[in-house]
Amino acid sequence: MIGTINALLHPRHTLKQWVVRRFGSYESKLRYDAIQRPNYGYCLYNAAKLAKALGYPRMSAIEFGVAGGNGLVSLEKHAETISTLVEIEIEIYGFDTGEGLPKPIDYRDLPYHWKEGFYKMDRQALESRLRKAKLVLGDVADTLGTFFDKYRPAPIGAISFDLDFYSSTKSALAVFRGKSQFLLPRVFCYFDDTIGVEVEAYNDFTGQRLAIHEFNLENDAIKLGFPYCLLNGRISSPWRNQIWVAHLFKHPDYNTFVSDATQQLPIGAAE
């Protein structure tokens, strides 16, 4: 009873959310924001289903920009649930400088909002909280260059980009140029710094949105796009507008059939 009253009084928790949180399926919890960081869960869950449909026994998820580590810990929790639901092994990697934000390169990194040294990591404290995620520390422009050879990750299917800067995000987007054996043909992505509020005033000419735009211009066989299925009403939370899917058109499994095999209707049946 007390839980019900608290749910009704708290402006961010409706009664429906409380019910779904207590009794709903994992998919329902994602849909109604009745779980921590549903945006992470959405990307990871759909990537896991794709990997399973393609016959992969394992997949990977990445968080670019770990900072204090709450997101990485949440990603681990989602992975634990999804691994059981989808019956697939999930590896997790967290990229970060470990020293906080670097110095902005120019106006494209929004120095009116970000400052050098923000979000410094307490590595020892974070590692004590992690169960399976591996930290990849250093400038992403350097660490990503050796990542595939050093870690040999399972195919990457879900990525959170939370590096704040245009420059760092642009460096991180090079992950999609890795060998196809390390990537799913479609990768579900969340870009944290693309909406914000008036003080950030995010636009298409700075920050993460500029990095995404330039990446699409520079790559003919890989494109990042908004998945319009998120307009069908099943999910209405603002984070849906921060989801992109990377399509790797030349991936050997891009055209592999993964949809419902029984779509054909009987002749004369209504569609």
CATH number, residue 209: 3.40.50.150
Give residue 38's domain range.
Answer: 25-248
Classify residue 45: in a domain, yes or no: yes
Secondary structure (3-state) at 207:
helix
Taking CA atoms, 127 is separated from 73, 80, 102, 131, 209, in Å, by 10, 17, 22, 8, 31
**C-alpha 149 chain-centroid distance:** 22
Region 190-218: mean pLDDT is 98
Taking CA atoms, 15 is separated from 3, 7, 149, 233, 240, in Å, by 10, 6, 49, 19, 22
Classify residue 8: in a domain, yes or no: no
Classify residue 140: in a domain, yes or no: yes
What is the C-alpha end-to-end distance of the chain, expressed in Å?
45
Classify residue 270: in a domain, yes or no: no
Classify residue 101: in a domain, yes or no: yes
Burial class of residue 197 in the structure, from the number of CB atoms within 10 Å of its CB (0-12 exposed, 13-18 middle, 19+ buried)? exposed
Q: For the whole model, what pTM was predicted?
A: 0.91
**Tokens matching residue 167:** 């420059």
User: 265: pLDDT confidence band, cut at 50, 70 and 90?
Assistant: low
Classify residue 83: in a domain, yes or no: yes
Q: Residue 51 in contact with residue 88, Cβ under 8 Å? A: yes
Q: What is the pLDDT of residue 13?
A: 54
Classify residue 236: in a domain, yes or no: yes
> How many Å apart are CA 143 and CA 159, to the nearest integer?
16
HSE, CB side, 13 Å, CA atoms: give it for residue 14.
Answer: 6
- Counted domains in the chain: 1
Q: Positive or negative, the Cα torsion across 75, 80, 82, 87?
A: positive
> How many Å apart are CA 208 and CA 165, to the nearest integer?
7
178, pLDDT greater than 80: yes
**C-alpha 213 chain-centroid distance:** 18
Classify residue 269: in a domain, yes or no: no
pLDDT tens for 215-236 read 999 999 999 999 999 999 999 9
User: 10: pLDDT confidence band, cut at 50, 70 and 90?
Assistant: very low
Taking CA atoms, 169 is separated from 129, 142, 189, 213, in Å, by 26, 13, 12, 11
